[in-house]
Structure 1
């Protein structure tokens, strides 16, 4: 995109301040962390209840950004231009709506409760041989994502496909003005975001607003739904599984040896296609896509050939452990210019190693001349400081001279044949290729080999939960986040890296070795060691870790080491025991504590803290208030006597919600980050972070009277289908979860665990579930949830989370 400054001012109704009103913008950004932010960037300082883009303007000025859309002027303007508006999000949307008017090609707009991204990606695949398509990258369908998607258009595109998602009323009008679809698709109306609407009718009508200027709308015939829309004048191209439903197209389904056969009856003719799917969602998503091809009057043989090649869509960027101490970012099914920018940002945010490598295929559907495209790709890669580039494909390899340390290969097989000589080690590798190149083979070759049980960590959910608790804080309140115990079982470094990008103030670990590992891997945030052992003091000092000091003996020991090294003003954190009676100084230690601190310059008190024993229990409110008051008294005595001004903190996750008046200067977020709350109302706003998955190793049918597992603790009362899952108590699954007390989820249905859980396996009853060997199984996640498991096992969520063995592979992903 290229827009002159002069054109932007009237579009967003801005008052201009600063250095100049001349110049050209070629990149729009809302993310201060992106390495693409540079001189031609227009940065929108979005302000929400949980974050404020204005805070990042100083660092962006240092990066060379000179154009900003703001709702408040910063103190430092440093030769920059500021467009002052009342609402920066509204300004972003107005700019995108204006930019959309510069293009007149057909645009498909997709909305609905589910399936939007799948339909978009499949339509891109089906139509791309005939059009140069611009589409929403990933699932950019929000009030922010839609304008960013539209701003990806350029003069070489001749078709657009964009998705729109809403969560409440009065949102779709804004998205419609930005997308202006000529063709609409309504995927379905389900239960997602029900809380934002009074009823299903209101939600349906709100979603329909996307199509107010569309020529035609494609959707599944539904009498109730159609009655709501009877007054709308758009052409309605409908489909139905019911022959007598007066739909435009009637569809029948039949199982085939390779999937499902769909037959479409339309205008006195029929069309049959075979798809490699059997689930209801994939079938309906396919039908919507075929309806578009029918509307465009594609030849039958073309529809059949292209639809038969549809494939599962991976909508997530995944971080995996690779061979030779590498980490992999798997984006192996997508290669277009817009998604490349997103993937490079993700690489920078989640890199485990300093050295960064990209394996990249030919890039399709950029809407740019080939030479221009690869010059721009080169600029992206150089800006992101990529150390090595491997190009795969005849076209991109012809431009490998534009990339740093590039080696070109004509095909994926050519690359795989040479891979052992390419020396992948101690680096973060982004694997990004168009589907035709089958880069999944590269991921398989580079991925560390572990068993098929994985714990998937949703980084979007972590960010959401962090921002939820941030929204409860006063603007000046700092945040410390606990990443002890391997990030509560979810993975320490990857989560610490995310928190560093979110600019939390401190990280907390239990023991020194956890902090040393994070520092060794490059985490720069200050880290407090909450339970330091005196034997680790020297290593802590060497790695700049800050100890919590809770005893006279520990304080004297630490000071003695500092004196021997002639180190002064080393930050420490003084802990008071206010009723937990676990660790901490008490009132009777105060005189001796003050005497020691008065007579040393080796340490400085960075913070004073205590720990609440039962902030999650409303029945113990009086005790918690007593703890807070005692902390106030003890910390004030220390501050007054020593004439210091340290940070104070006492609140944990539940304390943040239940005792906001005690925020002091900082709070400590723990299990809340991972989506767990003791408050059921609050739980609705938190997202599940970890999903433990495995597969079905084998299915067998046993007869009545036959048994399963050790000691024959399960005996079938009738013919029973049993599935064996390769996960057991060595992976962290409690044996008490067996004996039909617990369950796993297969195809969305509960499969009770039968008999004893073994060391490496468990068995489930799947008699009434359609499933096959190799199929995915959810051990915990949304269903069953960790909270449910903890309740049934009479324990706490922490124990379930931290019990998952390190031999279970962690996969980090972003939607």
Structure 2
């Protein structure tokens, strides 16, 4: 982060300096009392369980230079306290001001599934020519996007920003912060349907990412998603469909993949654009990753990178931890660590990757509850179970109360498939240790709150 003064920050957020030197220099913004670096401004977020104002004294002792406050309490008069109405809103206002100092183009990415992988692939393709700032991890919220923007510096030539929403109106704020010039919508699923209620609502909120676009600004929509393909007609001067040709059919997308096949554990395909074709190889399996690579190629070309160079950038991308990472263990056993998070749609993608593995043994899905589905939870889990039943895998092992509906569906529609449910990860891990055989392959996946990485760790330790 480039230096800002407390006076500059106070003016940018419409705050009031209660005490301290207005010329104090700030070069780092933190919302975490454990993350205090040189010249830090601490932003205490008021959460459902904790009001971080109580840590202001602690962060000053740790070396923080200043703090926002909405309480008006002064902890140390020698340190600047900036009074604001709402600390989270002030963080966003400051991000808008800071972003205005760096006129770099921003590529915004949203969607129900695959935002992080798409962000990483786009960044990999663009990095073949540019110095790219990208969202760290999945800092894609009203708090995460500002923290991403504060990392902008004069060295950056383009930014790739993940923009995730879970409620009405959130995309409006993210667009105000990031000001994307190019946008991508990966797909429309049922993540957060407990709050947004319908897929139509989910789509409409995500499409707001392009709300400020002028005619001709590129808006990339996944043409393999039926809802987005229809929605594209509402953006006749902006929409560019991307995806893959299905079953050898003709494809009318602007950018697409054809002739897909797997060799040496990698996806190979022909990338097609209006003026030509080129061969692309990626290290990630699954048609969803092919789609991610296609839009990455398209955006790289938009910013003047030739397709061969962009393809080289994609080939060097090795994936993201806990997102379909394939672990090769003893006796030819493979474990797909896809434990970072889950939705019904991403479970289906994970199952497809499991099916693509060339292991000689069984294919076993280890799945835990998908959270935040609200009143739709049982139906979503049951419907996902119907998909699992038709997938042709050998067994499904589940953890959690909600997964009982998935097991019920499997037993009804595929009585030959083994399906079990456990109340905790430890019991599931012990069961897996008893049944594992040489050549088996496992997919391990669940919502972040289910901590499925515990099962991956147990298998790796047992099979090391």
- CA–CA separation in structure 2 for the residues paired with 1:272 and 1:98: 42
The 5-angstrom pairing of residues 73-222 of structure 1 reads: 73-74=72-73, 76-214=75-213, 215-221=217-223
- CA–CA separation in structure 1 for the residues paired with 2:432 and 2:161: 48
Shift in alpha-carbon separation, 1:107–1:50, aligned structure 2, 3 A: same
- CA–CA separation in structure 1 for the residues paired with 2:375 and 2:22: 47
Contact 1:29–1:43 (Cα < 8 Å) also in 2: yes
The 5-angstrom pairing of residues 21-100 of structure 1 reads: 21-36=22-37, 38=38, 40-74=39-73, 76-100=75-99
Shift in alpha-carbon separation, 1:169–1:773, aligned structure 2, 3 A: same
Contact 2:109–2:184 (Cα < 8 Å) also in 1: yes
Please state whether the residue corresponding to 1:238 is helix, strand or coil: strand
- CA–CA separation in structure 2 for the residues paired with 1:758 and 1:89: 45
Residues 222-248 of structure 1 show CA distances to partners (whole Å, capped at 9, x for unaligned) of 564354454446522212426556421
How far 1:742 sits from its partner (Å)? Answer: 11
Shift in alpha-carbon separation, 1:111–1:759, aligned structure 2, 3 A: closer
Contact 2:110–2:164 (Cα < 8 Å) also in 1: yes
Please state whether the residue corresponding to 1:209 is helix, strand or coil: helix
Shift in alpha-carbon separation, 1:299–1:18, aligned structure 2, 3 A: closer
Please state whether the residue corresponding to 2:113 is helix, strand or coil: coil
- TM-score if structure 1 supplies the norm length? 0.41
Shift in alpha-carbon separation, 1:85–1:750, aligned structure 2, 3 A: farther
Residues 327-376 of structure 1 show CA distances to partners (whole Å, capped at 9, x for unaligned) of xxxxxxxxxxxxxxxxxxxxxxxxxxxxxxxxxxxxxxxxxxxxxxxxxx
- CA–CA separation in structure 2 for the residues paired with 1:154 and 1:81: 25
How far 1:82 sits from its partner (Å)? Answer: 1.1
Please state whether the residue corresponding to 2:169 is helix, strand or coil: coil
Shift in alpha-carbon separation, 1:776–1:312, aligned structure 2, 3 A: farther
Give 2:347's aligned residue: none
Residues 627-678 of structure 1 show CA distances to partners (whole Å, capped at 9, x for unaligned) of xxxxxxxxxxxxxxxxxxxxxxxxxxxxxxxxxxxxxxxxxxxxxxxx99xx
Contact 1:172–1:207 (Cα < 8 Å) also in 2: yes
- CA–CA separation in structure 1 for the residues paired with 2:8 and 2:375: 45
Please state whether the residue corresponding to 1:207 is helix, strand or coil: helix
Shift in alpha-carbon separation, 1:127–1:63, aligned structure 2, 3 A: same
Shift in alpha-carbon separation, 1:171–1:234, aligned structure 2, 3 A: farther
Contact 1:96–1:151 (Cα < 8 Å) also in 2: yes
Residues 384-443 of structure 1 show CA distances to partners (whole Å, capped at 9, x for unaligned) of xxxxxxxxxxxxxxxxxxxxxxxxxxxxxxxxxxxxxxxxxxxxxxxxxxxxxxxx9xxx
Please state whether the residue corresponding to 2:320 is helix, strand or coil: coil
How far 1:459 sits from its partner (Å)? Answer: 10
- CA–CA separation in structure 2 for the residues paired with 1:175 and 1:16: 27
Contact 1:16–1:82 (Cα < 8 Å) also in 2: yes
Contact 1:4–1:25 (Cα < 8 Å) also in 2: yes
Larger radius of gyration: 1
Please state whether the residue corresponding to 1:109 is helix, strand or coil: strand
- CA–CA separation in structure 1 for the residues paired with 2:440 and 2:432: 20
Give 2:302's aligned residue: 295
How far 1:124 sits from its partner (Å)? Answer: 2.1
Shift in alpha-carbon separation, 1:454–1:57, aligned structure 2, 3 A: farther
Please state whether the residue corresponding to 1:138 is helix, strand or coil: coil
Residues 1:251 and 2:251 aligned together: no
Contact 1:454–1:810 (Cα < 8 Å) also in 2: no
- TM-score if structure 2 supplies the norm length? 0.70
2:315 to 308, 311, 314: 308
Larger relative contact order (CA 8 Å, sep ≥ 6): 2
Residues 39-58 of structure 1 show CA distances to partners (whole Å, capped at 9, x for unaligned) of x2111111122211101112
Gaps of 5+ in 1: 319-439, 462-674, 685-719, 728-732, 734-740, 765-771, 787-800
Please state whether the residue corresponding to 1:99 is helix, strand or coil: helix
- CA–CA separation in structure 2 for the residues paired with 1:58 and 1:268: 61
Give 2:442's aligned residue: 776
CA RMSD of aligned residues (A): 4.4
Gaps of 5+ in 2: 343-367, 378-391, 400-406, 421-429
The 5-angstrom pairing of residues 733-772 of structure 1 reads: 752=418, 761-762=434-435
Give 1:236's aligned residue: 239
Contact 1:263–1:273 (Cα < 8 Å) also in 2: yes
Contact 1:112–1:207 (Cα < 8 Å) also in 2: yes
- CA–CA separation in structure 2 for the residues paired with 1:761 and 1:743: 25
Please state whether the residue corresponding to 1:16 is helix, strand or coil: strand
Contact 1:135–1:149 (Cα < 8 Å) also in 2: yes
